[in-house]
Structure 1
Amino acid sequence: MNTVSKNDPPRLAWPRTLTAMLLGLVLIGCASLNPEKGFAPVQALGKDKLDKDLRWSRTDEDRQQVDRRVAELLEQALGADAAVQVALLNNRGLQAAFEQLGIGDAERVQASQLPNPGFSFGRLRRGDEVELERGLHVNVARLLSLPLLKRAEERRLEQTQADVAAQVVALAGQTRRAWIDAVAAEQALRYTQQVQQTADASAELARRMAQVGNFNKLQQLREQSFSADAAQNLARAQRARLAARERLTRLLGLWGTQAQFTLPERLPDLPNDPRDLPDLERTAMSQRLDVLAAKRMAEQTASNLGLTRTTRFINVLELGLVRNSSNEAPAQRGYEISLELPLFDWGGARVERAEAVYRQALHRAADTAINARSEVREAYGAYRSAWDIAKHQRDEVLPLRQRIAEENLLRYNGMLIGVFELLADARSQIAAVNTSIDALREFWLAQADLDIALLGKPSLAPTAAAAMTAEAGGGAAH
C-alpha cells in the first residue's frame, strides 16, 4: 500500500538493470513483416518442380498483370502446359491459399513481439489521508520463452509453406488431368458424330429400299435401331464433353468471354518409348511433399515437447516494480515476484501428452514413407501398362481394322458385298478409333498421375499436415 499526500506527485523508479534487460530483449525480439519471403519457397517449387510461374496477386496492379498474361495464353489453342500455367496464375482458390502465408508471417512476427507491461493503479481515501497504490509488472515467463515461441511460429510457417506447396502441386495435377479429359471428350465427340452420320445414312437408305421392296422389314428395323442407339450415344458424348470442359474451366478460374477458349483437336501422340525410372523410390523419398511435411511435423513436435518440459512447473511468473510512499513514512522501493506453486499439478500429464503426440508424429512419418513407396510403384506400373495398351492399339488393332476396311471396299467394288455390309464395317472401324482414343487418354492420365506421385499425394497432404500441426500445437499450448 502506498500512502502519500495530495501534493506529493507519484513517481516510479526504473532500475537500470531491468531497463537494460528490456532493451536487449527489444533488440532480440525485433521482427518485421515480410510475406514475400514466406512465398519465395513456394514460388521456387513452382519453377523448379513444375517449370511454371507463380504470382501472388496482392494488389490491383498484380491482378492486372495476371489478367494480361492469361489473355496471352488464351489467344491460341490451349495446350496442357498452358492450361496448368493459367490455373496456377488465375485460380482464386490457390490465391486464397497464398494468403495463408501472409497470415503465418503475421503470426511469426506477433510471436516475436515483447509482451506489453502491465500497470496497476489504486486510490483509497480515509478521512484526509489518501492512499495510492501503483505497480508495474512484466510477464517474465513470456520473455524467457520468447526465442522458443518465435522458433515454433517459424516452424509453423514452414508447415504452412509445405501445405500451400502441396496445393500448388494438386492444382497442377488436377488441371492436367482435366485438360486430358476435355481434349479426349472433344475428340470422341467428333468420331461419335461420324457414327451418327453413318447410322442416319444407313437408316435412310434402308427406308427407301424397303419402300421399293428391295429390303425386308427386319433389316430396316435393325438399321433404324442402330441409328437410335447412335443418337443416344451422341447425346452422352455431348454431355461428357460439356462436363469435362466445365471442370477444366473451373480449375482455370475463367468466366465470361474467357470461358470460350479453344482446345487442340486431338491428344498428343503416344511417345515412342516409355520412361525408365530405376531409382523410383529414392526419387520419391527425396522430393515428395507429404514425406517432407511429415519430417517437418516430427521436428516441430520435438521442439514443442522441449517447450512443454521447460514450462512444466512455472506457469505464471511475473516480475513487478513496487514503490510505496506515504506522507508519514519514508518511501519504499523494490520489486516483487509472483509464481504458481506446483502443489497439485506437477505438469506430468502435459509432458506425457506431448511425448505421445511426438511418438504419433514419428509413426505418421513412417506410415507416410511406406505409403509413398507403394504409391509410386503403383503409379509407375499403371503408367507402363497404359503405354503398352495404347501402343498395342496403335500398332496392332488400328492397322488390322484399316486392312479389313480396304478389303471390304475391294469386295464392294467387285459387287461381292452390299452397301450395308460396307457401312457396318465403317461403324466398326470408327468404334476401334474411339477405343484407341480411350487408350491414349488413359496413358496420358497415367503419366499425369505418375508425375504427381513423384511429388506427393496433394489430395491428402494439406489436410493431414494441418491436423498434425493442430495436435502438436495443442500439446504445447497448455
Structure 2
Amino acid sequence: MRSVRSRLARASAVAALSATLGACASISADRGMTPVVSRVSLDLGKDTAKIVTPADAAAVRSRVARLLGAPLTADAAVQIALLNNRGLQAEYNALGVSEAEYVEASLPPSPTVSIERVTYRGELDVERRLVADLLSLLTLPRRAKIAETEFRAAQYKTIQATFRTAANARRAYYRAVAARETAAFLETARASAAASAELTKKLGETGATTKLNQARSGALYAEVATELAEARLEASKEREALTRELGLWGRDLDYRLPSRLPGFPRLKAQSDVEATALRRRVDLIGDRLELDALAQSYGLTEQTRAISMLEVTGIANHSKSAEGDKANPKGFEVAVQIPIFDFGKARSVKAQEAYMGAVNRLLEKAVNVRSEAREAYATYRGRYDIARAFQTRVLPLRKIITDESQLQYNGMLVDAFELLTNARENVASNVAAIRAKRDFFIADVDFQAALIGGGGAEEASPEPKLASAASASSASPQ
C-alpha cells in the first residue's frame, strides 16, 4: 500500500512539473513585433520593421533610397521615419527586453545545490542539500500570467511610440514645406519691392516723385528683405527638424521637398469622436492592460501575504567515523518565516492603494481622451474654415485690391503711399494664408492622433505612469 501511494505521489509531482514547464513562454522570432506591424499597417497603411541583421539594415536602406529618389511627399516622409528613425528602433529594442522579462517570469525557480564536507579527528561528515523555493513554484502560473499581461501592455506602448513617430514626421513635413513656400513667396515679393524701389528712386532723381515716396518704397523693400531672411532661417530650421525625424544624414541630406503645400483634402466627418477615441486609442488600451496586471498582482498579494518565505530542502548526509562505521541519514527540511510582527497588512494596504491609484489615473485619462478628441475635431474644423477663407475670399479680394490700386496709380488717381500700403498688406495676407493652410494640415494630424494615439509634443513629455504590477507584486514574496 505504501509503495502504491509513493508511486501516486511521484506521478502527481511529475504531472505538476510537466504542467509548469509546459506553461513556460519562449522568445518569439520577431521579438513581439507582430501586433505592432499589424496595427501600423491597419491604422496608418504603412510598414515598420525592427532592424536586427545586416540584411534587415540593407533592405531598409534600399527602400529609403527609393523613397528619396523622388520629391518627398507626406506619406513618403512617414514611411521613411517608420523604417529609419533610430529612436523608434530603440523602442523596439525595449519591447524585446519586455518579452525577455516575460519569458524569465514564466520559468520555474532554479533550485540551489549545496555540499558540506567536515573532517574532525578522522571522522568524515558530508551533507548534500537541494533547496527549492516552493512558494515561487506554486505561484508560478499566476506570476507568469501577470508578466504576460505586462508584455501585452508593452506592445501597445510600442504601438503608441510608432504612431507618435509617424505623427511627428508628418507634422515636421508640413512645417518644412510651408516654410519653403513662404520663403519662395517672399523671394518674389522682394524682387517686386526691389524693382519698385529702384523705379521710385529714378523718378525721384528726375523730380517726378517726392523724397517721402522714395523713403516709403525703400522701407517696403527693406522690410520684405528682412522677412525673407527670417523665412529662409525658418525654412532651414524646419528642414533640419524634418531630417532628424527621418533619421537622415550624409548623402541623404539633399532630398527634395515640393515648392508648396498640397491641395485641400476632402473634409472628414466624424459622428462620435469620443467613442472612437476610447475604442481605438492604443495608449489607453496599454494602460488598461497595465491595470489588469496590477489587479492580478494584488490578488497574488492577498493569497500570500501571511507567508513571506517557504522553502523545501532535501537533505542527504554521509558520515564516516574513525572506526569505519558509515551512516547515510536522509530527510527534508521545510522553512517557513512566521509573521509574528507583521501579518501582511501593510503589504496588502500598499498593494490596494497602488491599485486604486492606478484606477483613478486611468479614469482621469479616459476623461482627458474624450476632451482631447472633441478639442482636436473642433480645431480641425476651425482650421479648415480659416484656411479655406484665406483661399476663397481673402486672397482673391487682395488680388482685386492690388490690381485696382495699380490701375488707379497709373491713372494718377491715388498716390504711391496707398499703392505701397496695399503691397505690404498683400504680402502679409499671402504669408498668413500659407501658415493657415499649414496649421490645417497639422490639425488634421493632431485629430488622427487624438483618435488612435500618437499625440503631440505635449503628450510625448513624461507623465505619471500607472503603478507597475511588478512593484505591487514585490509586496508579495516571489
TM-score by length of structure 2 reads: 0.91
Q: CA deviation at 1:408?
A: 3.3
Look up the match of 2:3.
Answer: none
In 2, the alpha carbon distance for the partners of 1:469 and 1:448 equals 30
Cα distance change on mapping 1:464 and 1:319 into 2, 3 Å: farther
Do structure 1's residue 454 and structure 2's residue 451 form an aligned pair? Answer: yes
Letter of the structure 2 residue corresponding to residue 321 of structure 1: G
Do structure 1's residue 377 and structure 2's residue 396 form an aligned pair? Answer: no
Cα distance change on mapping 1:276 and 1:31 into 2, 3 Å: closer
Look up the match of 1:397.
Answer: 394
* Unaligned residue ranges in structure 1 (runs of 5+): 1-14
Cα distance change on mapping 1:113 and 1:389 into 2, 3 Å: same
Asked if structure 2 preserves the Cα contact closer than 8 Å seen for 1:195 and 1:427, the reply is no
Letter of the structure 2 residue corresponding to residue 332 of structure 1: P
Look up the match of 1:158.
Answer: 152
Do structure 1's residue 251 and structure 2's residue 245 form an aligned pair? Answer: yes
Q: CA deviation at 1:329?
A: 6.1
Residue 318 of structure 1 aligns to a residue whose secondary structure is strand
Cα distance change on mapping 1:219 and 1:408 into 2, 3 Å: closer
Q: CA deviation at 1:430?
A: 3.6
In 1, the alpha carbon distance for the partners of 2:20 and 2:284 equals 37
Letter of the structure 1 residue corresponding to residue 55 of structure 2: E
Deviations 1:262-289 (A, max 9, x none): 1111111224x52221111111110012
Look up the match of 1:149.
Answer: 143
In 1, the alpha carbon distance for the partners of 2:62 and 2:230 equals 36
Look up the match of 1:314.
Answer: 307
Do structure 1's residue 136 and structure 2's residue 99 form an aligned pair? Answer: no
Asked if structure 2 preserves the Cα contact closer than 8 Å seen for 1:284 and 1:455, the reply is yes
Q: Aligned ranges for residues 49-198 of structure 1 at < 5 Å?
A: 49-198=43-192
Letter of the structure 2 residue corresponding to residue 210 of structure 1: G
- 1:348 equivalent among 324, 336, 345: 345
More divergent stretch after superposition (431-440 vs 259-268): 431-440
- 2:465 equivalent among 464, 467, 472: 467
Cα distance change on mapping 1:72 and 1:380 into 2, 3 Å: same
- 1:335 equivalent among 332, 337, 351: 332
Look up the match of 1:302.
Answer: 295
In 2, the alpha carbon distance for the partners of 1:411 and 1:461 equals 54
In 1, the alpha carbon distance for the partners of 2:360 and 2:376 equals 24
Cα distance change on mapping 1:26 and 1:370 into 2, 3 Å: closer
Cα distance change on mapping 1:464 and 1:415 into 2, 3 Å: closer
Do structure 1's residue 260 and structure 2's residue 254 form an aligned pair? Answer: yes
Percent identity (aligned): 37
Look up the match of 1:359.
Answer: 356
In 1, the alpha carbon distance for the partners of 2:193 and 2:292 equals 66
In 1, the alpha carbon distance for the partners of 2:285 and 2:245 equals 26
Look up the match of 2:384.
Answer: 387
- 1:286 equivalent among 259, 279, 283: 279
TM-score by length of structure 1 reads: 0.91
Asked if structure 2 preserves the Cα contact closer than 8 Å seen for 1:166 and 1:462, the reply is no
Residue 215 of structure 1 aligns to a residue whose secondary structure is coil
Asked if structure 2 preserves the Cα contact closer than 8 Å seen for 1:135 and 1:320, the reply is yes
Look up the match of 1:477.
Answer: 474
Cα distance change on mapping 1:357 and 1:260 into 2, 3 Å: same
Residue 465 of structure 2 aligns to a residue whose secondary structure is helix
Residue 214 of structure 1 aligns to a residue whose secondary structure is coil
Letter of the structure 2 residue corresponding to residue 373 of structure 1: R
Matched length: 462
Deviations 1:320-375 (A, max 9, x none): 21223434465322211111111112111111111111111111111111011111
Residue 316 of structure 2 aligns to a residue whose secondary structure is strand
Letter of the structure 2 residue corresponding to residue 277 of structure 1: Q
Deviations 1:33-88 (A, max 9, x none): 11516111111111011111011111110010001000111111111111101100
Q: CA deviation at 1:424?
A: 5.2
Asked if structure 2 preserves the Cα contact closer than 8 Å seen for 1:134 and 1:323, the reply is yes
Deviations 1:381-411 (A, max 9, x none): 1111111111211221122122223333443
In 2, the alpha carbon distance for the partners of 1:466 and 1:26 equals 36
In 2, the alpha carbon distance for the partners of 1:413 and 1:468 equals 71
Look up the match of 1:7.
Answer: none
In 1, the alpha carbon distance for the partners of 2:61 and 2:402 equals 50
* Unaligned residue ranges in structure 2 (runs of 5+): 1-8
Cα distance change on mapping 1:460 and 1:357 into 2, 3 Å: farther
Look up the match of 1:407.
Answer: 404
Look up the match of 2:5.
Answer: none
Q: CA deviation at 1:168?
A: 0.8
In 1, the alpha carbon distance for the partners of 2:162 and 2:281 equals 13
Letter of the structure 1 residue corresponding to residue 361 of structure 2: R
Q: CA deviation at 1:467?
A: 3.0
Asked if structure 2 preserves the Cα contact closer than 8 Å seen for 1:294 and 1:364, the reply is no
